Amino acid sequence: MTPSFEEWRPGKLSFLIRLLLGSGLALAACGAALLYAILRGEIADQHAKLTEHLREEMLFALPAMSGPAVVGEYSVIEQMVKARARQPVVARFAWIDNSGHPVAADGPDIKVEAPDWFVKWLDLPVLEEARPVVVGGEKYGSVTLRLNPAVSINRLWRGFWEELGILVLGTGLSIAVTLVVLHSGVQPLRALAASARRFGQGEYGVRVTVEGPPETAQCVQAFNSMASNIESLLGSLSRSEEKNRLLAMQVEQSNDAIFSHDQRGVVTSWNRGAARLYG
Contact 254, 271 (CB under 8 A): yes
pLDDT reported for residue 2: 47
Question: What is the pLDDT at residue 238?
Answer: 81
Segment-wise mean pLDDT, segments of 10 residues, the chain, 279 residues: 49 71 84 90 93 92 90 90 92 92 92 92 90 91 94 93 90 84 77 83 81 77 85 83 76 69 75 69
- 35 burial (CB, 10 Å; 0-12 / 13-18 / 19+) is middle
Q: Give the global pTM.
A: 0.65
Question: What's the pLDDT at 103?
Answer: 93
State residue 186's pLDDT score. 76
Q: According to the model, what pLDDT value does residue 259 have?
A: 64
Element (H, E) at 161: helix 150-200
Task: State the SS3 of 7-63.
Answer: HHCCCCCCHHHHHHHHHHHHHHHHHHHHHHHHHHHHHHHHHHHHHHHHHHHHHHHHH
Class of domain 13-173: alpha beta
What pLDDT is attached to residue 78? 92
Tell me if 92 sits within 8 A of 107, measured CB to CB.
Answer: yes
Alpha carbon 86 to chain centroid, angstroms: 45
Domain ranges of the chain: 13-173, 204-279
Three-state SS at 257: coil
pLDDT of the residue at 203:
81
